[in-house]
Amino acid sequence: MLASMFGRTGVAPFIASSDVYVVDLLDGLGAAGYAQEGRWAVSPGEPVAPPHLYEQALDEYLAAVSRRRLRPAFMAVSDPAPFRSRGMAVSEIADEAVLDLEEFSLAGSARAGVRHAVTSARRHGLRFAPYEARLAGQLRDVTRSWLATKRGGELGFTLSRHDDVIHQLDDGGTDVWTVLDEHGAVQAWCTWRHYLGGQGRVIDVMRRRPDAPNPAMDFLIASSLETYRAQGLEQASLASVPRPHGEIAERIYPTKSLRAYKQKFAPRWEPRWLAVPKPRQVPFVMMAISRAYCPGGLRRAILRNG
């Protein structure tokens, strides 16, 4: 819940990832977390804490990592200044696709492709609906059919897996939406995690049947965004896309296609930063981050789209 309350970006909810060890800070008023890869403590974003206590939380977290004889690495932080001031090396690593919901609309040329997809989805008889417990088996079936097309399996770290969703629903910080066909069968589904004091949503799990109508996923995301706008929420994130880091990295996490897909929704791209103790450590940290995303191993992940 701290990530929902004090998280400033779409990365914040992932300090509660099943792959992350959570560190309580400020006597329970703040938190941070890391995935341990070798001697590296790889943190998804910055600590979450009340704004006036953020600097104190960061110092407390760095001290906790040091006591564990680990090296800190912060992935996708929103403000590099606090890390620079502590002598760390920072570099741009990713961009987060952000939408201001009050201004979100499918009208106009910028999102014309999405608008046409929504119209096409409705012609196919698809409808948008909130998750109901009776659909749990269908969600699992959709995931199984989707995974059958992915040799590398599900990634982790700042990407939730199917089995994480039930636990996330229990904490009240996750929404699940579905697209149903005219027979009531789930064709696609997604989850959105809460941040920004409950006024922000970031997309997380996205699944569709391989034979679902082509516009199903565009329809699902657009309908989610329109629903959040109608509810008066402030911001939605289509999550971060890493900057290109070579062919192997592209095989693990296809940045070019992801960026192109998210661009269809005409977001505002905000830079996100990597912070490490020394510049020469960046290549080793990038390898540690890759391993954090790949619980099944790097070799299996590299083959996922091969």
Query: Alpha carbon of 104 to those of 128, 200, 218, 303: distances in Å?
Result: 18, 14, 15, 37
| Residue-level pLDDT at 305 | 46
User: Strands of 235-242's sheet, edge to edge?
Assistant: 21-25, 30-37, 40-44, 71-77, 268-276, 89-100, 235-242, 200-208, 186-195, 174-180, 127-130
10-35 pLDDT, tens digit per residue, is 999 999 888 899 999 999 999 999 99
Domain boundaries along the sequence of the chain: 2-95+271-302, 97-270
| Residue-level pLDDT at 306 | 41
| Residue-level pLDDT at 303 | 53
Looking at the chain, the whole-number percentage of residues with pLDDT higher than 90 is 77
| Domain over 2-95+271-302 is classified CATH 3.40.630 | yes
Assign domain 97-270 to a CATH class: alpha beta
186-217 pLDDT, tens digit per residue, is 999 999 999 999 999 999 999 999 999 999 99
Asked if residue 200 lies in contact with residue 194, where contact means CB atoms within 8 angstroms, the answer is: yes
| Residue-level pLDDT at 156 | 75
81-118 pLDDT, tens digit per residue, is 999 999 999 999 999 999 999 999 999 999 999 999 99
Asked if domains 2-95+271-302 and 97-270 share a fold, the reply is yes
pLDDT band at residue 250 using 50, 70 and 90 as cut-offs:
low
pLDDT band at residue 255 using 50, 70 and 90 as cut-offs:
confident
CA distance 277 to 71: 8
Residue 163 makes CB contacts below 8 A (sequence gap 6+) with none
